[in-house]
Amino acid sequence: MERSFHILKFLKFTVAFVFITSGLMKVVNTELADYFASLALPYPLETMYTVAWIEIAAGLLLLFNKYMKTALLALMVIMIGALVLTKIPALHAGFIHALFSARLDIVMLVLLIILYRFRVTT
């Protein structure tokens, strides 16, 4: 039990790091604005900054064990949105290519689901 607790705690910190870093990159990297514009979303720049600040805030909430359920759900919604908007269109290049393209998003979504199921609060 003790070992699995430490593993979940490590996963929580790792996931928080990934989303805080991802959010910060969206805020500081102007090239990502072009990428969001290519997704044909309404208000792509505003969408990008909204996603960025949610990623940063949710990552910090995970680090500080605050509103864990809300933070994890918000990040799951972002990951599902990323899969739908950016990875499903990759199917035109073939199923294996789409799976390869989606592999990291799928891993992050699975980790979020695990953390949601076994919320670690210490």
Is 79 within 8 Å of 109 (Cβ atoms)?
yes
Name the band, by pLDDT with cuts 50, 70 and 90, for residue 98: confident
Q: Which of 31, 16, 2, 6 is nearest to 112 (CA)?
A: 16
Single-letter residue type at 89: P
Confidence of residue 84 (pLDDT cuts 50, 70, 90): very high
Per the structure, the count of domains in the chain is: 1
**29 is a domain residue:** yes
Structural domain span for residue 51: 2-117
> Does residue 52 fall inside a structural domain?
yes
Does any domain span residue 122? no
- Please check the confidence at residue 122 and state whether its pLDDT lies above 60: no
28 domain-assigned: yes
**Closest alpha carbon to 21 in 72, 68, 58:** 58
pTM of the model: 0.90
Separation between Cα atoms, residue 37 and residue 33, nearest integer Å = 6
